[in-house]
Amino acid sequence: MKKLLTVGEILVEIMATEQGFGFREPITLVGPFASGAPAIFIDQVARFGQPCAIISAVGKDDFGTLCLDRLRGDGVDVSAVSQDPERPTGSAFVRYRPDGQRDFVFNIRHSANASIAATEETERLIAGCDHLHVMGTALFSQAVIDLVLDAARRIRARGGTISFDPNIRSELLHLSGLREALETVFAMADLFMPSGNELFLFTKAQTEEAAIREILDGGTKAVVIKRGLEGASWFSRDGHVSVPAYRVEEIDPTGAGDCFGATFVCCWLRGMAPAEALALANASGALAVRKRGPMEGAATADEIARLVRSASRL
Ligand code: ADP
């Protein structure tokens, strides 16, 4: 089976238990939970049963141990996750606005994640993996940008493939070099996986149809659009298909897009038909929102397949 690699932040998430309160007054929080978009993604890949690895860094502290134990326990190769004795594990505090939108207080750039850089272990993984998944949030330092672009070029040169989820966080958009890095990754990606307005990040097109045509004409093999409660769609030069979402009770929206992406990429690497891959990926996203905690809802391949067989669609 093909081995999948991602690069980027691992952190713990600590979240408000109730909607509607800010961080300017004492509130009840719950956590720590292992988190970070690339970490959620790769944990779901492992739970789906695909060989996989992450290049990252955590601190030599309890938060780091929690994250490492969780990823290793689920089957992720963490041989290239370094433990920084000088800096703490990254963290994010999350609170929910009354309308369900989330606000974050991040500590990533000054956490152990700042020490992610090329090492012997990262070299070994890049040489041994078949597919690279890039997430926009991961590109938070020049060292990570260099590492990701180098990995992408080398994996592609060996005949491997690249998927790209822009996963744009407005808090991070001001970072220098990010825009250029996103454009470079986009140009190399086989699979482009935006949600919402991210479809228009690299095109001046005004409509979805025109944007997709331009992206496919530019050489991207397929575009997969995540549409939340509307499900998801696949577009390639051979055609397109949309598959509705599953009806579940949403407890915590964090992680849906990452789990969806992980399951979709695994199915794509296994050569599954787009409609089947979308159904499994939608089920994976739906299961992700049913549990509190960013990666607590990452489900096994059996659990995901069971939802596809049994559940009603939205
Ligand atoms: P992102 O978090 O990247 O914006 P989405 O919110 O679109 O991604 O979620 C990815 C997928 O997860 C959706 O396409 C959908 O299939 C599923 N999903 C997300 N939220 C829900 C929900 N509340 N109920 C059921 N399925 C959901």
Residue ranges of the domains in the chain? 4-310
Compare 173 and 49 and report the one with higher pLDDT.
49
CB-CB neighbours of 303 under 10 Å = 15
Q: Nearest-CA neighbor of 185 among 170, 208, 159, 163?
A: 163
Q: What is the pLDDT of residue 73?
A: 98
Q: Nearest-CA neighbor of 265 among 9, 38, 12, 8?
A: 38
pTM as predicted: 0.96
> Two tokens at 40?
């959620």
Q: Is 261 in the pocket of ligand 1 (CB under 6 A)?
A: no
Residue type, 136: G
Ligand 1 atom index nearest CA of 261 = 10
pLDDT (tens digit per residue) in 67-105: 999 999 999 999 999 999 999 999 999 998 887 788 889
Check pLDDT > 80 for residue 180. Answer: yes
DSSP 208-271: HHHHHHHHHHTT-SEEEEE-GGG-EEEEETTEEEEEPPB----S--TTHHHHHHHHHHHHHHTT
Q: Nearest-CA neighbor of 58 among 14, 9, 13, 96?
A: 9
Atom 27 (ligand 1): residue with closest C-alpha?
286
Q: Is 225 in the pocket of ligand 1 (CB under 6 A)?
A: no
Which residues, including other chains, have CB under 8 Å from residue 142's CB and lie 6 or more apart? 177
> Two tokens at 92?
């994010």
Whether 111 contacts 12, CB under 8 Å: no
Q: Is 286 in the pocket of ligand 1 (CB under 6 A)?
A: yes
> Two tokens at 56?
């990252």
ipTM: 0.98
- Per-residue b/e over 149-176, b at no fewer than 16 CB within 10 Å? bebbeebeeeebbbbbbbbbeeebeeee
- Quote the mean pLDDT of the chain: 94
> Two tokens at 295?
């990666």
Q: At what angle do helices 120-128 and 142-157 cross, to 10 degrees?
A: 30
Distance CA 113, CA 140 (A): 9
**What average pLDDT does this structure show over 245-272?**
96
Check pLDDT > 90 for residue 217. Answer: yes
Q: What is the pLDDT of residue 312?
A: 63
Residue 163, classed as helix, strand or coil, is strand
Q: At 20, is the pLDDT very low, low, confident or very high (cuts 50, 70, 90)? A: confident
Q: Is 195 in the pocket of ligand 1 (CB under 6 A)?
A: yes
Whether 79 contacts 107, CB under 8 Å: no
Q: What is the pLDDT of residue 100?
A: 74
CATH class, domain 4-310, is alpha beta
pLDDT (tens digit per residue) in 231-250: 999 999 999 999 999 999 99
Report the separation in Å between the CA atom of 229 and the middle of ligand 1, taken as the mean of its atom positions. Answer: 6
Residue 72, classed as helix, strand or coil, is helix
